[in-house]
Every structure is written in C-alpha cells, then in structure tokens.
Chains A and B, each alone.
Chain A
C-alpha cells in the first residue's frame, strides 16, 4: 500500500437513493473506495449498476443521499456551491460520453474555457502542445457541430486536461466512437494523464479500455463487487 497521504479521492459510506419505500432504487449503496494520486482506475459494471452516479458524485456534479466524498482530504459535501465550482475547475477535468461542448464557442475557446472561468492566464504553448498531441491543430477555429465525433471527443479531452487538473473523470469517453478512434482516444488520454501526472478515473463498457487501467473497480447494484485492490501491487511492474 502507498502512503495514506497519496490518496486523492476517497468515499465513505457513499449512498445515492432515488424514491422511497418499495419504489426505492439504491443507485449507489454504501460505497467505500480510495484512489491514489496518479492512478488510472476503470469502473465497470452493467447498465444501471451505478457507475455514472458514482462518478458524478466523485466530481461534485450530484449530491449524495448520505456519506462523504473527499478530494485531497477535504469533504466536498460540506462545500458551498461557490467553493465547489472552484474545485471543479481547478482540480477536476470532466469528459462526458456526449462530449458536451459549448456550441457557440470554437474548439480553442472550448479548450481554454475552464482556465478562463478561473481567471488564469493562458499558457498558449502548453495548449498548443495539447492541441497538437490530440491532432486538432487545423480545427481550432471550428465550431463543434462541424467536427466528427472523434474530433469532438478529442476536443473534450483537451478541455479536461487544459487546466492541469489533478483528477480526470471520464464517463464512457469512447462510447460514441468507432473502435479505432476509441482506441486512439484512450491511448491519448492515458498518455497525457501520465505526462502530466494526473489521476484518471474512467467508466467503460469496453473490455480493452478496462484492461488499459491499472486497477478496475466492478460495480453491481450500486455496491462494489471488486475494488481491484489486490491486483494493484502485482500490476505495479507496468
């Protein structure tokens, strides 16, 4: 086990229930997990197993019914919306299955948006580096709806890493992409996460994607079936 201080994401008895009584659905049920700084973790599970709900709560997009989420040792459930938005733009990069680019902004503007919201100066050479790595150099002035799905997802990835967040949360980033583009996208994501020392948490249905991760958490009915902890040590040789 690594040092306790290395843990960047942690949940304690995290629950998310919908409805009451007989109709109650336990989307996430008493989940306890720890993710270390720089780790690449995949979360797998059947449809409706609570993967997305868990990821959204990890990123402060959804409010838990009970339990705690710690980012860098701080319980974000106690944060006001104002502080939470700062955490989101500084520490977390989101990648959605549906890309969720802002249609009125061009590719470049979409990428630097989190930086702009934080009022930070833009390191143009760094952004250009990302744009080049992701193969978007000739598309920076384009509006999102003129891009292919793969290009849009790469733009979303660039946006997620542009502010050098410590955590990247990706919800089926390759779900809408064909196999080849999907593989390329994952490779880029993993490479950039390694390059900038970011923690990567990816939800996926895709076996291959799951296998790229250092650790795989398996969810079923909102509970963790396997946190993949035992394999971590043996995988460390990678």
Chain B
C-alpha cells in the first residue's frame, strides 16, 4: 500500500515537473477520445436521422409488373404484413406537364398502430375517390391543371390510357385533398412529376371495355422487421417474390429504409470497426510518440531511480500511474467535447441543407421536425470511446516501459538521445544550418519516421473522406441530363410506337427538321450564346423477328452510335461480351446498354438480329450482332453501334434529338429567358437548364453530404491539432539543445531556418503519405460507395482543393508553430533553457 503511494506520488510530481509534456500528452489523449466520441455521435445522429427520414417511406419492397392473380396471392401470403397496390392508369395530356392518373389501394395492413405511414397517405380534406368520376390530389396539382382546389370542384382532364391509344377527355369531381406542397419556382415545370388519384371503379370500367390492361405495382411490408437482420429480411422478401413466381429483376427492395430499421449486417459492423481501428491506430501513434520522446529525455532520471533501487515493475507502475492520472482528466473532457461538438454542429449542417433546399418547404418542415427530436447520445458509443482511449494509452505505454526497464543505471547517467548503435558519423567539413537540420532528422530515423507517419495518417483520413465527398457531386447528377454545355434542348418523341398519333414518333418528327441549321443559327444569335452543338443523333429501329425486347417497346427502339473515344466509358460499365471498335465495325455489332432486362429478354452475346432502321420514311435493312452488354449510361441510348457503321448508313434525315448550348456566364439568365420562349413555341421541345438540374442534384445529395462534411471538418481540426501537438513535442523536447546552439551563436533567423527546414521535411513526408495512401484509400472507398449506390456517386473526382488546402495548412502550420515556439522560448533566458530539460 505504502509502496503504491510512493510510486503514485512520484508519478504526480513528475507530471507537475514536466508540465508541457503532461499538457501535450493530455491533449493527445483528449483529442483521441474526442475524435472517437465525435465519430460515434455523428454516426448515431446520422443513423437516427435516416431512421426518421426513411420512416416516411417505411415499405420494405416494391414488386413491379404483377398480374391480378399474383396480387391476390400476395394479399393472402403469410409473410406479408401490409400490402398496397398502385396502378398507373393513364398519362395526363396537358401541354408539357408530366402527369399520371393512378389508383392506389390498400389491401392489407397488419402493422402495429404506430407504423404504416407510407402505405396509406393521410388526406387533409375529404375522402379517397370511390365513384368513377372522383379524383384526389394535392391542391398544387389542381392549380396546375387550372382548377380550383376545393372539395366538390370540377376538373376536366385529357389523358391517354397507358400512354397509348386515343386522347380521352373526362370531367372529374374533387373528392379529397392531400396536404399542400409548396413548389419552388426554381424547378422547371417539365422536371416535376404530378399524380392524380382516381378510383378503382374507373379502372374496372375501362378494364371491362378492354381499353386497359392492369399491371399493378405492389408496395409491401413483410413480418420480422424487429427480429431479423438486413440480410435475412432481404432473403425473406425475395422468397415471397419467388412464391408468386416473380422474377428477381422486378423486385425493388427499399434498402435505405431496411438498412436503418433492421440490425446492421456483419458487413456494416466490419466497416465501422475498421474505421474505428484506423482512428485508434493513428491516435495511439501520437500518444506513443509523445511518451517515446518523453522517455528519451527521462532516461537519466529513470537511471537514478533504478540506482536507488526501483524495480522494473515499479518503473512500469510509474508510467501507468502517469498515464492514468492524465487520462482521468483528459478522457472526460474529450468525451464531453466529442459529444458537444456534433451536438451543436449537426443541426447546423442540416439547417444549411434545408434552407438551401430547392424542392419544397415540405422537406424544410420535415428537417425541422427531425432536428427537434434527433437522438445523438448513445451509451455504447460513450463506453466504446472511453475503453478505446484507455486501451490506446495502455498500448502506447508498452514500448516506453520496455525501453525504461532496459536502461541500466550506469549508462543512464551519461545517456544522451542518440543514434542507437551508431558510433561515428561521416559528417561534413563545414557545418551549415542545413547540416544541423539533416543531422537532427537522421539522428533518430525511427522517431522522424514515427512523427511523419503520425502526421501523415491523420491527413490520410482527411484525403480519403474528401475523395468520396468530392465525388458526391450535384454537377454529376446534373450532367446526366445536360452532358455538355449549359442548356440542352431535347426533342420529345414517343418512347413507344405511337399508333394513334404517329406524328409523335421519332422517324416522323425528324422529317420536320426542327433542328435545322436555321434554327441553330437563330439560337447562336442570342446574345451570350457561345456555341451550339448537336448531340449524337438517334434513329428508330424495328425488327420482323420475334424479340421480347422489341415487343416491350412496340417494335420501336432508338439506336445511336459511339465513337472510338467513348470505348473507355462503355468499357467502364461493361457486363458481358467485349467492346472492340474495329471488330464491331467490321461485323455490324451493337451494344445493348440495358443490362437490367437482359435475362428477361432471353438475349445472349452473339445473337443475330435482322433490323430495319427508319430514316424518316426511308427504310434501311441491316443485320446486326449483339456484341456487348453494359449497365445503363446516361450518355448512350438503348442500342449503340460504332460511329463508322452509323456513317455508312447514309442517312438522309437529320437524326438530331438534342442540342447543347454553351453560354457566357454573364448572360446565363437572359439566355435562359430567351430559350424558354423559343422552347414554348414547339410542343416537342423540352429545355434542360443547368441551374435547375444543379438545384435538383443538390436537393438529393446535400442531406447526406453536409453531415459528412461536418465529420470531415472534425477530422481535419482534430488531425491539425494532433499535428501541432506532434510538432510542438518535437521542438519542446529539444529546448536544451536549441539553447546550446543559440549560446554558440545560432541567430534567431538561423533557428527559424533550421526548424522550418525540419518542418519542410515533415510536411513533404506527410504530403507524400497522404497523397499516396490517402488517394489510394480514397479511390477504394469511392469504388465501394459507387457499388453500393451511396449518395448517387458515379464519377471519381480528385479532391484537388482539399489537397491544396491541406498542403497550405501544413506549411503555414509549420511556420506559425515555429514562430510561436520561438516567441515562447524568448521569454526564458538562454541559460534557463540550457540548464533545464523542460
């Protein structure tokens, strides 16, 4: 008992004596705890936020293309907890409005009372349509079609059943109103999707008349959400689909919701554990390096203690006590800050999202509600962070303890931090400041390496996360609709073979020469338009052979081409076959970019298809071979051939379906205004504007991106403080030596030069590690995120600004610290620095 007190007392007095080192260790431990706690807290908050967000759409899966028999089996299936069906009945014909009439029916709901929000939408007023002429929707819908949104009001709508057949017109009575949605005027009307709900009775009428063939989509929940894991739920859903004989391709599992609602699978746990381990690893390096340097400067004292009879175990206890006392202060502070920082910043990050959100005020209200009841505290996170920090301290102490135990009292007296086993040094005839810098760095190569590694690893984490965040890009999403330039004017043509209104078919539209040279020069003459370019054209193909693929599109599939330069892009999403430009040209081979329906259509590589191409009214027969199959890519249409094959077709009609406009930034708004007017003149034109697409892109990713940026800032701040800590340690522990150098005539300027020289080497090393390891890890993380379809990531963006920022911060950080320490040292007289260790 008494002995313990002696060691503890000694530990305390050592901590007091080595004040600056105690501070540095304390800060390092505090930061480690803070980082772990902050990551855990942000994770808890993000998970809770997702849980609340996705609870708004709490279905488990959607089954598409069902028959009424399959729906019937589903509603009686023992595993199905809740089921509703949606039938898209008709497309609304109202100028450029995108709208459908659909019918939703809840067939089963055995969910607990507090659930089931998404399978049945609450109406604000009135009731769901029951009679044939009844309709309900949001007030905005009725305003859009020019009707007054009141219960009992009349609205006349034109529509085409299934988007085909004749245009029908009918008067409806408003039976119910959904909660109102405020539509932002930033979003172009053509980019909105409207839905009016009609009654089952109306559907049955048309069905009886043979005008409508139902193909309902089922939205369902299965039992077991509380008990099963994500993987087990997925299996169960697929089993239900198999029971009704549904192809897996038609099953759409609501992964986002299931992910948050079920226990995370082993894979998620593994990812979290790996991130945690990386944090622990790099923070233990920081703590380790501080202790390591500490022991070196302590060796003489340890030697004296041993000479006085302290045993190895007592020396070890001395270290453990020091660690325990510092941790007792540092860990709670770290836990508190690690919780408070995200607690205060997380809602701010969400707030930034909701106020910048372009879609509607609805999401803002939802965000507000979620911020209000976000659960951020998690006891397991607290316990894990505490345990991990303490273990880190204990592990970091092992090496210094082993070193201290090894020190013999005799050698300790004349011990100087040295070059391990080196006895001599080749050296230089002349000694310059740079000689000193290099001598310092090479004196203990291991310590130099540990310092660089420590600093490097915190930057690796930063670069890695930024690589992913940079690739989460609203512009990428926008570029799916506007691949080039600032605007796209697209020709609207029938996606299916429109038999009733053949003028809507592409082969007929091209004969109108909407994209004539005259039209293009009219666009070019608008002030601010820099250039107008045609997108690769499209041509309609059909076949006489029996082909489920063609049948699905009413024997009417668009075909386009790819250039040699596009081969790489196509190869990136290649699934089957191979893409060889010359071979494909020679053999009239085509690529199908629709992997999802591949199996369903019974296609295989090498299939030969006799097709007919429709160049206006001229028909071009051609036999093509299916050469390759890729995932869908926004830049390519359903079928593509090589540019050479395309050119050999000798088309007489201009096949342009889209044009891109590059405009001068200063005139963007006026050009947009002019284009809107021009596009309004032609009902077949749709205008895509970059600002609108960007706003849509932002609204779909910012909610995820902002909390992640918060995490990135946390990592950066903590990493930077760690870095400062490491650098201060490396200077403070050499205070005496620097004092001697100054006593020998090292001037202030030379001191700064020497220290910044060292700093430069550290910076270069750190950058090297973070740029190699960080970029590699960042790219891997990007690939993973892309594969998992996280935040619509599709293209890798190099985190250039983040990298430049990192380099600037590192270099300026080094300089500031050097100057700061020099200032601090000035307060002490030279002789005090030479005499004292600390």
Contact = CB atoms under 8 A, between A and B. Distances in A.
Given A88-B745, A89-B745, A142-B424, A102 B737 contact: yes
Given A103-B417, A145-B416, A62 B830 contact: yes
21 contacts: A61-B743, A62-B830, A62-B832, A63-B829, A81-B748, A85-B746, A85-B750, A90-B745, A96-B834, A102-B436, A102-B439, A102-B741, A103-B737, A104-B425, A116-B435, A143-B419, A143-B422, A143-B423, A143-B425, A145-B416, A159-B744
Interface string A55-94: 0100111110000000000000000011001101110001
A208 interface: no
B423 A82 contact: no
A86 B829 contact: no
A130 B360 CA distance: 86
B427 to A, nearest CB: 4
Interface string B425-442: 111111111011001101
A188 interface: no
A141 B427 contact: yes
Interface in B333-377: none
Nearest to B444: A104
A53 B528 CA distance: 79
B245 to A, nearest CB: 79
A34 to B, nearest CB: 23
Contacts of A59: 743
Contacts of A100: 740, 743, 834
A82 B834 contact: no
A146 interface: yes
Nearest to A141: B424
Interface of B: 414-419, 422-433, 435-436, 439-440, 442-443, 737, 740-750, 826, 829-832, 834
B747 A86 contact: yes
Contacts of B430: 112, 115-116, 122
Contacts of B832: 62
Given A112-B430, A141-B427, A104 B443 contact: yes
A81 B826 contact: yes
A106 B436 CA distance: 11
Candidate in B426, B433, B744 with the most chain A CB atoms within 10 angstroms: B744
Contacts of A145: 414-416, 418
B296 to A, nearest CB: 11
Interface in A111-131: 112-118, 122, 124
A21 B829 CA distance: 22
Closest 7 CB pairs of A and B: A89-B745, A116-B431, A104-B443, A85-B747, A104-B439, A106-B425, A106-B427
Contacts of A89: 744-746
A108 interface: yes
A56 B739 CA distance: 13
A103 B416 contact: yes
Contact of A124 (B429, B741, B743, B746): B429
A225 interface: no
A124 B427 CA distance: 15
A102 B436 CA distance: 9
B443 A117 contact: no
Given A63-B829, A117-B746, A143 B424 contact: yes
A170 B597 CA distance: 92
A191 interface: no
Interface of A: 56, 59-63, 81-82, 85-86, 88-90, 94, 96, 100, 102-106, 108-109, 112-118, 122, 124, 141-146, 159
A142 B431 contact: no
Nearest to B434: A116
Contacts, number: 127
Contacts of B440: 104
Nearest to B826: A81
B744 A113 contact: yes
A88 B749 contact: no
Contacts of A142: 423-424
Given A61-B829, A142-B423, A145-B418, A105 B431 contact: yes
A117 B428 contact: no
B376 to A, nearest CB: 50
B109 to A, nearest CB: 78
Nearest to B428: A109
Contact of A122 (B418, B423, B429, B742): B429
Contacts of A103: 416-419, 443, 737
Contacts of B435: 105, 109, 116
A143 B418 CA distance: 9
Contact of A113 (B424, B431, B443, B831): B431
Contact of A109 (B414, B427, B829): B427
Contacts of B747: 81-82, 85-86, 117
Contacts of B745: 85-86, 88-90, 114, 117-118
A29 to B, nearest CB: 18
A118 B424 CA distance: 25
B422 A61 contact: no
A108 B429 contact: yes
B427 A61 contact: no
Contacts of B831: 56, 61-62
Contacts of A61: 743, 829-831, 834
B429 A117 contact: no
A146 to B, nearest CB: 5
A112 B743 contact: no
Contact of B744 (A94, A124, A144): A94
A41 B783 CA distance: 77
A97 to B, nearest CB: 11
Candidate in A81, A102, A104, A146 with the most chain B CB atoms within 10 angstroms: A104
A116 B432 contact: yes
Nearest to A56: B831
Given A108-B429, A117-B746, A141-B425, 15 more contacts: A56-B829, A61-B743, A82-B747, A82-B749, A85-B750, A86-B747, A103-B417, A103-B419, A105-B425, A105-B436, A109-B427, A122-B429, A141-B424, A143-B419, A146-B423
Candidate in A60, A88, A90 with the most chain B CB atoms within 10 angstroms: A88
A146 B748 CA distance: 31
B439 A109 contact: yes
Contacts of B429: 108, 112, 122, 124
Contacts of A104: 419, 425, 436, 439-440, 442-443
A170 to B, nearest CB: 13
Nearest to B424: A141
Given A61-B829, A62-B829, A90-B745, A106 B431 contact: no
A89 B427 CA distance: 21
A94 B743 contact: yes
A29 B760 CA distance: 46
A153 B627 CA distance: 85
Nearest to B417: A103
B748 A117 contact: no
Contacts of A60: 830
A231 B489 CA distance: 108
Contacts of B436: 102, 104-105
A232 to B, nearest CB: 29
A146 B741 contact: no
B511 to A, nearest CB: 85
A109 B741 CA distance: 13
A96 B432 CA distance: 23
A20 B422 CA distance: 49
B739 to A, nearest CB: 9
A34 B422 CA distance: 46
Contacts of B426: 106, 141
Contacts of A108: 427, 429
Contact of B740 (A102, A112, A122): A102
A106 B424 contact: yes
Nearest to A139: B424
Contacts of A146: 423-424
Nearest to B833: A61
A105 B748 contact: no
A89 B746 CA distance: 8
